[in-house]
Amino acid sequence: MSTNEIILAIADLKNDMNNRFNLVDKRLDQVDERFDLVDKRLDQVDERFDLVDKRLDQVDERFNLVDKRLDQVDERFNLVDKRFDQVDGHLNQIDERLETLEYTMKEAFHDIGLVENRLSDHKHTFHSR
């Protein structure tokens, strides 16, 4: 392999690495967007809990509606549980993506090490001629 071919191979590797880093950035942006969505959903949960507290404060005035209101609250808690399950699912997906990313990065660094070793071997061979 000539020096120019090695330089081109390194340039291709750098380009591939830049592309992979761009993909990582995009994935991390997606993670940020999902965390923003989680925050938004949790704000909605907080608002719902505030509404539940307000309604429970009115129990003395409308005691005959307590059972109906408690059923509504239970339904909302079930919705909240489902949303937490969805959030857990998203977080698990994020963990899987990060593990995949970590594996890919390890492979890339290994590949870079191999190229560096080949370049070093080639450099020593070239200088010994």
Q: How many domains does the chain have?
A: 1
Q: At residue 93, does pLDDT exceed 80? A: yes
Q: What is the mean pLDDT of residues 43-55?
A: 90
Question: What was the pLDDT predicted at 63?
Answer: 79
125 — pLDDT class (breaks 50, 70, 90): low
Please state, in angstroms and rounded to a whole number, the distance separating the CA atoms of residues 96 and 100: 6
129 — pLDDT class (breaks 50, 70, 90): low
Question: What was the pLDDT predicted at 60?
Answer: 73
Q: Which candidate, 13, 27, 23, places its Cα nearest to that of 93?
A: 27
Residue 29 lies in a domain: yes
Please state, in angstroms and rounded to a whole number, the distance separating the CA atoms of residues 96 and 107: 16
pTM > 0.75: no
Residue 111 lies in a domain: yes
Residue 125 lies in a domain: no
Do 38 and 87 meet the contact criterion of CB atoms below 8 Å apart?
yes
For helices 3-57 and 66-128, give the axis angle rounded to 10 degrees.
170
Residue 128 lies in a domain: no
Residue 129 lies in a domain: no
Residue 40 lies in a domain: yes
Q: What is the mean pLDDT of residues 5-14?
A: 91
**Mean pLDDT score of the chain, rounded to an integer?**
87
The structure tokens listed for 59 are: 């129990």
Residue 110 lies in a domain: yes
Residue 12 lies in a domain: yes
Q: What is the mean pLDDT of residues 68-74?
A: 87
**Full domain range(s) for residue 103:** 3-119
